[in-house]
Amino acid sequence: MRRLTTMLGAGLLATAAALATAGVASAGTTAAAAQHRASNCTNEGPFFFNVTKNTTSYFMGLPNNVSAGKAAFLKPSKNGSTLWTLCVSNTTNQVVFLSHNLALTTRSTSPGETVTMTTVGNNGNGFSSQQWNYFENGSTIEFQNVKTNLWLRVRNNGPIMGQTVTTGFTPTDWTISS
């Protein structure tokens, strides 16, 4: 299939599919999947993305009452607000992060800006500010924004619980789980 699918392996995808079937995916994620059927990408997931420091995991998530303009930030555990669907491009090495019918977005070319959520555009394919190139790095994955060329990362003084997710010149190695 695609490189991301290869990285994740059949076992993880089967687990993710089982979680979705069991109803773990939020209503917003399900709505996002329905909205993107006409796009040039395929929804995969649900997944959780985390970084680990000193045996503590920090999950990329959203406020419990998410809306457009809200920032992604680090949370202490897996739950519905840290659950992501990826719309994986059928033709390129790109993904759009989806949660609650919104896409993870960055527009600023200045490193250190907070990553926020916006309504997914371009017929579900995401605008360039919502598209992220992905790169496998052993058992982890790194994401670089198509528009800004900046990396999805945690702040230099982190990770810290509650800290906003940002962009920068160097990547963070994210771990994917289901």
CB 3 within 8 Å of CB 93 = yes
Tens-place pLDDT, residues 143-159: 999 999 999 999 999 99
Residue-range domain boundaries for the chain: 3-177
So what's the pLDDT on residue 10? 37
Q: Which CATH entry fits the domain spanning 3-177: 3.40.50.1480, 2.40.37.10, 2.80.10.50, 3.60.20.10?
A: 2.80.10.50
The CA–CA distances, whole Å, from 51 to 3, 55, 56, 145, 155 equal 21, 10, 8, 18, 12
**Pick from 24, 16, 173, 28: nearest CA to 99:** 28
Which residues, 6+ apart, have CB-to-CB distance to 25 below 8 Å?
A: 19, 45, 46, 83, 85
- pLDDT value for 38: 55
pLDDT digits (tens, 9 = 90+) for 1-40: 344 544 454 333 433 333 333 333 333 444 444 443 456 8
Q: How far apart are CA 164 and CA 146, in angstroms?
A: 20
Mean pLDDT, all residues of the chain: 83
- Rounded average pLDDT over 41-52: 95
pLDDT digits (tens, 9 = 90+) for 56-80: 999 999 999 999 999 999 999 999 9
Task: Give the C-alpha separation, 134 to 95, whole Å.
Answer: 7
Looking at residue 137, its pLDDT comes to 87
Q: How confident is the model at residue 124 (pLDDT cuts 50, 70, 90)?
A: confident
Kindly report the number of other CB atoms within 10 A of residue 8's CB atom: 24
Considering only residues 33 and 113, tell me which one the structure prediction assigns the higher pLDDT. Answer: 113
Nearest to 44 by CA among 141, 127, 116: 141
| pLDDT score of 103 | 97
Angle, alpha carbons 61-67-68 (nearest 5°): 100
